[in-house]
Amino acid sequence: MIWLRLAVFAVLVPGTTIVLLPILLLQSGWGGRVHLGVFSYIGWIPLLAGTALMLWCWYDFVTRGRGTPAPYDAPKQLVVSGPFRVVRNPMYVAGVAILIGMAIVFGAPGLLAYAAAFWVFTATFVLIYEQPTLRRKFGQEYADYCARVPAWIPRARTAIGRETP
């Protein structure tokens, strides 16, 4: 049942913000197009890496946290392993990577602007809703996690797997 709830969330939220809206923007021609030739293939790197990262995070939320990324069906346990050991917001990082990859693949500068807007929106959501909610729900465990793991950009020591001070 939890996998079904995850699937519904995946279609409704990331499916809309990371797939449907960018496709509609591309179809509308918003932001123009730039012909990148063979360099457009470089965009597949962040697109596929972001997709893999997103799927890994979802798997960890279900199996380790016993919940989904949906705020109304959040994990019962704080997930601090896998990608969450490197940054606190890997799903949003994955979303931005996917959007940047799409912008490069399709030569769509407008999607870069959309990726920036997506990051601003998610960063604001994290500050206003997620962090206070997680502090209330997990208390000192979340505070310790925040002290160890950066929100968005991995620390060199964290990225190579060593414990941070």
Ranges of each domain in the chain: 36-159
CA distances from 109 to 2, 18, 22, 104 (A): 37, 16, 12, 8
Say what the pLDDT of residue 162 is: 52
Reply yes or no on whether the pLDDT at 20 is more than 50: yes
Say what the pLDDT of residue 117 is: 97
- pTM for this prediction: 0.90
Is domain 36-159 given the CATH code 1.20.120.1630 in the classification?
A: yes
State mean pLDDT over 115-119: 97
User: pLDDT tens digit string along 56-76?
Assistant: 999 999 999 999 999 889 899
